[in-house]
Amino acid sequence: MPFFTNGPEIPYHSPECLSIPVLTADLHDMSLEQSDSVFLLTPVELQLRVLDFCDSATTANLAAVHSSWTESARDALYRHIAFVAGMDRAKPRLQLLAETLTTRPTLASRVRALNVAFDTVGMTMRSEKAAAQYLGECIGSASGLQYLLLPSRDECLLDETIRLLQADEIRLRGLKLSRDLMRKMRNPDSKDLAFRSAVISAATARNTTLTVLIVDRGEDITLWDALMDYAPALSIIGLGDDFIALPLWRYVPSDSEAALDGYLHDLRQALVHPFSAVASYQVRTLQVTIPLSMSHVFHRTLGCLLPSPTFNHVQKLCISSPPQLSSSTAARPLQSDELIRFVGPLSHQLQQIVIRRSEPEPIEKSPQPLLLDTTPESLAIALGDRCPCLTYLELPTTVLVRWNLECNQWKRII
């Protein structure tokens, strides 16, 4: 029986991408034959939209109901695969997936996102090695793979990923490096250096599609950060235990809606889907590097991320301006209405707002105050009116706390 995932998954097809016809007929007034014909003649686009609301078990059942739904159901089942591999059964789930994809090339060609995390706590070294081998077989069989979570530093996995990155036609659009992999690359050997070289080459190639690289901020990522200097198409996203850092400003031209649509699609596939394998993960702090004037980019990014349960508990927002823009905008005061408009989508849940300079102040110099179009106290009151739970506002030289929530009263502590 072909492998398929169980449990809730985030839909791959976004409503904006589909032109769905409206079904105006009332199925309750139809005969059984008429309702059957409507069901069987449903357009593929509508089938895929219906399957967006089905879990994997329901989707598998629909595949068996009628042959007209089989292809759409298979596409929904195999397009995005996410789960945690562990020692849960005699024949591991990952082994079943590898057997299916290696023996059924038509199914393997449907896979676009492969996000398999390893339960390293419950796995022995032998079982982890076997899991890495099975995952390597899956990567090698999925010819159309676009988004990949690399859970372990295993030579088999690195070889397959290097092959994927060095292909004549690079299809990979998003790559996530796990904390375990980053930790084991602290003292790189020849294989690690070959992998890094492959990522750099893929990110800087003329025909590259690699736009999102997610790395663990708990480890040293200096080498990966250096990519940002000469790989303008690549967005390097920092991931921590409960925070995410998004350098939005470099990779989303404000005058190009097409570029923004493409970036947000890749961001959703590479950033949201990996967390669907670990339902308990919650982002508490969101760090963004973007000018406040690009609030529409920030709002659309939040619209892409917030529907996921992973992102609906953001309590702290840290904002910094891009380095290249800091000098040109140094004399322009921060507009309070821009900031209020900027935090709008998070206003009901934010508890802390931190506004930092993008470049650290020299140690020998005192921090320079942030130019505002109003006083810090007035800014805090205006934000408090918009954000009922907000209790903390930090500026480069000023910190204010809200000591009376009901009356929106603030006091400066620095």
The length of the chain in residues reads 414
CA atoms of 209 and 205, how far apart (whole Å): 9
Percent of the chain, pLDDT > 70? 74
Q: Are 112 and 12 in contact (CB under 8 A)?
A: yes
Integer Cα distance of 271 and 239 in angstroms: 10
Per-residue pLDDT, 15: 33
In DSSP terms, 147 is beta-bridged to 113, 174
Ranking 118-122, 250-254, 289-293 by mean pLDDT, the lowest is 250-254
> What is the predicted pLDDT for the residue at 71?
83
Q: Are 73 and 63 in contact (CB under 8 A)?
A: yes
CA–CA gap between residue 183 and residue 53 (Å, rounded):
38
Task: Flag whether pLDDT at 189 surpasses 80.
Answer: yes
Task: For residues 212 and 251, give the distance between their C-alpha atoms in angstroms, rounded to a whole number.
Answer: 10
The model's confidence at residue 88, banded by pLDDT at 50, 70 and 90, is low
Which of the given ranges, 43-47, 147-151, 292-296, 363-367, has the highest pLDDT on average? Answer: 147-151
Phi-psi region of 289 (alpha: psi -120 to 50; beta: other; left: phi over 0): beta
Pairing between β-strand 243-246 and β-strand 235-239 as defined by DSSP bridges: antiparallel
Residues 142-167: what's their mean pLDDT? 88
What is the residue-averaged pLDDT of the chain? Answer: 76
State the pLDDT at residue 100. 92
pLDDT at residue 328, as a whole number: 45
Average pLDDT on 184-192 reads 81
pLDDT confidence of residue 90: 53
Q: Which pLDDT tens digit goes with each residue over 233-251?
A: 677 787 777 778 887 765 5
Mean pLDDT for 147-174 is 85
Query: What average pLDDT does range 148-152 have in this prediction?
Result: 88
Structure-derived torsion over alpha carbons of residues 262, 268, 269, 275, reported in degrees to the nearest 10: 170
Q: What is the pLDDT of residues 8-59, one digit of tens each?
A: 333 333 333 333 333 344 444 545 454 455 566 778 778 777 777 777 778 8
Handedness of CA 229, 235, 236, 238 (dihedral sign): positive
Please report the pLDDT score of residue 272 as a whole number: 66
Q: How far apart are CA 414 and CA 411, in angstroms?
A: 9
Q: Is the pLDDT of residue 386 over 80?
A: yes
The closest alpha carbon to 383, from 412, 353, 345, 404, belongs to 353
pLDDT at 18 (0 to 100): 33
Q: At 196, is the pLDDT very low, low, confident or very high (cuts 50, 70, 90)? A: confident
Taking the C-alpha atoms of residue 371 and residue 148, their distance in angstroms, rounded to an integer, is 43
Burial of 369 per CB tally in 10 Å (0-12, 13-18, 19+): exposed
At residue 168 the predicted structure's pLDDT band, cuts being 50, 70 and 90, is confident
